[in-house]
Amino acid sequence: MAEFTRVRDGVDRRDFLALAGASALALGTPAWASSAARYPAIRKAAEAGREAAIKRIQDWIAHPSIAAENLNMKEGAEYMANLAREAGFDSATLMPTDGHPGVFATMDNGAKRTLALYFMYDVKQFDPAEWSSPPLEGRIVDKPGFGRAIVGRGAVNQKGPEATVLAALHAFRAAKVKLPVNLVLVAEGEEEIGSPNFHQVVQSPNVLAALKKAEGIFIPASWQDMNGHVAVNLGSKGVVELELIASGEKWGRGPKGDIHSSMKAMVDSPAWRLVQALNTLVTPDGNTAAIDGWFENVRPLTPREKELIAEIARSGDEATQKKLLGVTRWIDDLPYAQALERLASQPTVNIEGLVSGYTGPGGKTILPGRAVAKLDLRLVPNQTRKEVVEKLRAYLDKKGFNDVELKVTGGYDPTETAEDSRIIRAELATYKRAGVKATLNPRLAGSWPGAVFTAPPVSLPAGHFGLGHGSGAHAPDEYYVVESTNPKVAGIVDAVMGYVDMFYQIAEVK
């Protein structure tokens, strides 16, 4: 079991940082440490601000905003806006929506170019019983192979990486160095429920006008693997989150509420009704959507995308990926390269959860009057959220399931960004200068609301960028490495300097 050390009071934190500095010297100097020569004043400020940067993450973790539970949403937006102001943004404004508010902030540095940043201040739900330390405590623990990490809900998704960007801005201010780019920050509090209202923030006149001046936008990331490698994503799948609901009331058969299970001999079951509807959506193995017209707009992989995937397969570690996922084989026992092609190219219909009747200990012998399936649909170019929802509804109706309700809770279209766009070239140049191997990835299988930026009327190239490592998003014991004992992986100060260099690369790249 890892030794737990809280970094909260001054003594513990200073001891921790002193030990961390000693371990870094013992490990030798990684390539990105050359940032000290390029930006000596900023590097010195980042090192001096390391303690504050760690505490900033811990304090933010202690203030969760959970959109799915309507928990601390206005407070979370105000907290986000205050963090932006403290980091040097000229203004930070709460942006009302039909749901939870967003935040809009700008920083005019008199630069020729502008860079946009996407943040989220909401986090996923959590069950403290599933965690090895309290999920809002931000405890520092050992992570073998990586170093010391903050554990807490939102540590890597996204408060750790976002707070590291803010730490970079604090370092500029402390060093009295003006940023080489102007900044636009847009943040939302509904990412974890599918960003249903974020477009209202982005398309408001003042935000849209500011974004139109930007070279591109990125979401902070910390995806270095144990070897220090990263992926540069040229797009992401879209997603639709929804519920399918079968009920005796809507069906006109079965009970309107729960009844004794002995009545199943003469009463229809809404739960079985839902199971039958779900079975029609996919092929018998559950792996391919069977919805009419599902694939008609799907764009096949281009030769260049296949080439990039083949390189990922050659350089990747299939055994380690399977181990991390807890699987022993891919769909249809596909070879690794073909499995990766499927991952990038195939839209999916996935069951997130099934809820009906009694699920506690023991039995309760009821016939439920209602059953709910939570689904997510992952989309690829050229599918759209609107299209797939309409096709799903039409298909259910065609199959005779008019009574099964379809409730969309969030989602957005897929994204694509050109390989030769300025933001992608700046990312690659920053990683190269840091000595980090970066592999181009045609499409992230996960999703983020980047489509609100890449699609009209904004039409910005968008991506993910950042040094460092974290994992466990949406899961118990989510973590973010703040002090690396792995010479190939950046700790928080080196991750800060990665963002510093990215700002300069955006300003300089042709």
CA torsion sign, 262 to 266 to 270 to 271?
positive
Rounded-to-integer distance, Cα 223 and Cα 370, Å = 41
Strand segments, DSSP code E, in 325-380 are: 348-356, 366-367, 370-379
Please name which of 418, 351, 407, 416 lies closest in space to residue 378, comparing C-alpha atoms.
Answer: 351
pLDDT tens-place values along the chain, 510 residues long: 333 333 333 333 333 333 333 333 333 456 666 666 789 999 999 999 999 999 999 999 999 999 999 999 999 999 999 999 999 999 999 999 999 999 999 999 999 999 999 999 999 999 999 999 999 999 999 999 999 999 999 999 999 999 999 999 999 999 999 999 999 999 999 999 999 999 999 999 999 999 999 999 999 999 899 899 999 999 999 999 999 999 999 999 999 999 999 999 999 999 999 999 999 999 999 999 999 999 999 999 999 999 999 999 998 889 988 988 899 999 999 999 999 999 999 999 999 999 999 999 999 999 999 999 999 999 999 999 999 999 999 999 999 999 999 999 999 999 999 999 999 999 999 999 999 999 999 999 999 999 999 999 999 999 999 999 999 999 999 999 999 999 999 999 999 999 999 999 999 998
Rounded-to-integer distance, Cα 150 and Cα 168, Å = 19
CB-based contacts of 255, cutoff 8 Å, min separation 6: 248, 263, 267, 270, 367, 369
Question: Is 434 in contact with 426 (CB distance < 8 Å)?
Answer: no
Beta bridge partners of 471: 479
Please name which of 496, 467, 482, 430 lies closest in space to residue 170, comparing C-alpha atoms.
Answer: 496
Question: Is 51 in contact with 14 (CB distance < 8 Å)?
Answer: yes
In the block, tokens 């999703």 appear at 447
pLDDT of residue 37: 79
Output the CA–CA distances (angstroms, integers) from residue 154 to 60, 441, 471, 495, in the order listed.
9, 25, 10, 17
Rounded-to-integer distance, Cα 258 and Cα 265, Å = 15
Q: Chain centroid to CA 475: how far?
A: 12
Rounded-to-integer distance, Cα 446 and Cα 231, Å = 13
Q: Which tokens is 442 given?
A: 């045609």
Rounded-to-integer distance, Cα 470 and Cα 159, Å = 11
Question: Is 393 in contact with 291 (CB distance < 8 Å)?
Answer: no
φ and ψ at residue 45, rounded to 5 degrees = -65, -40
Q: Give 249's DSSP letter.
A: H
pLDDT of residue 32: 62
b or e along 96-132 (b: 16 or more beta carbons within 10 Å of the residue's beta carbon)?
ebebbbbbbbbbebebebbbbbbbbbbbbebeeeebe
Give residue 454's identity as a one-letter amino acid code: T
Rounded-to-integer distance, Cα 344 and Cα 235, Å = 10
On the question of a cis peptide bond just before residue 200, with omega within 30 degrees of 0, the verdict is no
Classify burial at 362, counting beta carbons within 10 Å of its beta carbon; exposed 0-12, middle 13-18, buried 19 or more: exposed
Secondary structure (3-state) at 293? coil
Q: Which domains does the chain have, with CATH numbers?
A: 4-235+416-508 (3.40.630.10), 238-298+347-412 (3.30.70.360)
